[in-house]
């Protein structure tokens, strides 16, 4: 495994560890699944496609194994420079792992997008497990016919596992397919670590998640959020009164979008920021003060320089 973040000492006898990527078209439930597999929310989710933009690691550690799941952006036909980059991240994950899970949606017909993802997965060297997600939203006959069509149309898989990432049904079965496919190896992340994301990135994602819920059409795609500390984090006084003070800058692509995100009397942004702040406080176990601002960064999704600057 090349993507090692550094091992925590020699491997215990029989301990297995490795990396498993979760790929699929947008909106099939990859991030929801990773959250279930890890047992904690590590990735934001939404009903809007192309929610995930970077590859996020979610770590599951037990007494017998550690699996590092890669939650990847949905593979799609890109229309922007951002889409090209997110696709590239998902593709790159295929060559860095011990096993691949391709996720499809049981509540929708198998489409060309699914076929495309499967072709990429089969071309990689690792075993490929087909995960048929959202079985809570499909009846038994539909799930059976989905599995049959998948077997006929999507190539050879090492295993087929129906799951509901929402309810957790089938997730234990998926884990028991994955664990034996990992090599014996060290524990890469210490006990208790569930993700590799810095706190400020998590804060930005939680606010973006709230804004995705309340916007529609092209607006969700046009939103990007950055969070920075207001106080110097190296400063001992960084938590005056035990409050972590953060500044979020929400960027959109148009003036009209700015109005939508702010809302009448600022209510949309205020409600989103409050919800994100509560979640962050629970996660970090500290009080958070979250200041917000909205800026227009025209066509940032289409401009490679803007993407570099925004960390995409």
Comparing C-alpha atoms, which of 259, 258, 267 is closest to residue 296? 258
Minimal distance in Å, beta carbon 42 to Mg ion?
11
**Contact region with ligand GTP (CB under 6 A), list: 113-121, 160-168, 211-219, 222-230:** 160-168
For Mg ion, the closer of residues 15 and 312 by Cβ is 312
Query: Binding ligand GTP by CB under 6 A: which of 16, 18, 20, 31?
Result: 31
Comparing C-alpha atoms, which of 85, 86, 52 is closest to residue 71? 52
**Contact region with Mg ion (CB under 5 A), list: 24-32, 169-177, 241-249, 260-268:** 24-32
How far is residue 65's CA from residue 261's CA, in Å, rounded to a whole number? Answer: 43
What does the block give as tokens for 79? 């229309």
Q: Is 65 in the site for ligand GTP (CB under 6 A)?
A: no
Size of the site for Mg ion (CB under 5 A): 4
Tell me if 211 sits within 8 A of 100, measured CB to CB. Answer: no
Query: Binding Mg ion by CB under 5 A: which of 50, 52, 187, 257?
Result: 52
For ligand GTP, the closer of residues 21 and 164 by Cβ is 164
Packing angle of the helix pair 267-284, 255-262 (nearest 10 deg): 60
Closest-by-Cβ residue to ligand GTP is 74
Q: How far is CA 241 from the centre of its chain?
A: 33
For 291, phi and psi rounded to 5 degrees? Answer: -90, 145
**Contact region with Mg ion (CB under 5 A), list: 26-34, 140-148, 247-255, 280-288:** 26-34
For ligand GTP, the closer of residues 166 and 303 by Cβ is 166
Q: Is 29 in the site for ligand GTP (CB under 6 A)?
A: yes
DSSP-assigned letter for residue 295: E
Q: Is 31 in the site for Mg ion (CB under 5 A)?
A: yes
Q: Is 165 in the site for ligand GTP (CB under 6 A)?
A: yes
Contacts of 131 (CB under 8 A, 6+ apart): 22, 33, 101, 102, 103, 104, 161, 162, 163, 174
Query: Binding ligand GTP by CB under 6 A: which of 20, 60, 65, 74?
Result: 74
**Contact region with ligand GTP (CB under 6 A), list: 8-16, 46-54, 61-69, 77-85:** 46-54
For Mg ion, the closer of residues 78 and 229 by Cβ is 78
For 47, phi and psi rounded to 5 degrees? Answer: -75, -10
Query: Binding ligand GTP by CB under 6 A: which of 50, 126, 195, 224?
Result: 50
Q: Is 28 in the site for ligand GTP (CB under 6 A)?
A: yes
How far is residue 169's CA from residue 192's CA, in Å, rounded to a whole number? Answer: 24
How far is residue 312's CA from residue 292's CA, in Å, rounded to a whole number? Answer: 21
Minimal distance in Å, beta carbon 209 to Mg ion?
10
> Which residues make beta-bridge pairs with 294?
250
How far is residue 138's CA from residue 146's CA, in Å, rounded to a whole number? Answer: 10
Judged by the rule CB under 6 A, the positions of this chain that interact with ligand GTP are 24, 26-32, 45-47, 49-52, 73-74, 133-134, 136-137, 164-166
């Amino acid at each position: 495994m090349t993507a090692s973040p550094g091992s925590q000492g020699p491997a215990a006898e029989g301990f297995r560890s490795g990396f498993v990527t979760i790929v699929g078209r947008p909106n099939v439930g990859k991030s929801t699944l990773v959250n279930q597999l890890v047992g904690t929310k590590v990735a934001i989710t939404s009903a809007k496609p192309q929610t995930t933009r970077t590859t996020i690691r979610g770590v599951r550690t037990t007494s017998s194994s550690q699996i590092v799941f890669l939650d990847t952006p949905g593979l799609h036909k890109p229309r922007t420079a951002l889409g090209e980059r997110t696709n590239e991240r998902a593709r790159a994950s295929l060559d860095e792992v011990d096993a691949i899970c391709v996720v499809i949606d049981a509540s929708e017909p198998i489409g060309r997008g699914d076929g495309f993802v499967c072709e990429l997965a089969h071309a990689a060297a690792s075993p490929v497990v087909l995960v048929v997600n959202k079985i809570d939203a499909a009846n038994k006959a539909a799930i059976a016919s989905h599995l049959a069509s998948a077997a006929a149309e999507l190539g050879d898989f090492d295993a087929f596992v129906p799951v509901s990432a929402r309810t957790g049904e089938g997730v234990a079965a998926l884990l028991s397919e994955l664990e034996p496919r990992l090599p014996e190896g060290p524990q890469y992340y210490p006990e208790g670590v569930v993700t590799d994301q810095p706190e400020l990135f998590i804060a930005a994602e939680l606010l973006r998640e709230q804004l995705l819920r309340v916007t529609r059409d092209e607006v969700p795609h046009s939103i990007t959020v950055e969070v920075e500390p207001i106080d110097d984090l190296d400063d001992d006084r960084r938590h005056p009164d035990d409050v972590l003070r953060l500044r979020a800058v929400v960027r959109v692509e148009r003036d009209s979008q700015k109005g939508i995100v702010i809302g009448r009397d600022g209510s949309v942004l205020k409600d989103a920021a409050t919800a994100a702040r509560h979640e962050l406080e629970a996660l970090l176990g500290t009080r958070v003060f979250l200041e917000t601002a909205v800026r227009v960064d025209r066509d940032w999704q289409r401009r490679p320089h803007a993407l570099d600057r925004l960390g995409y």
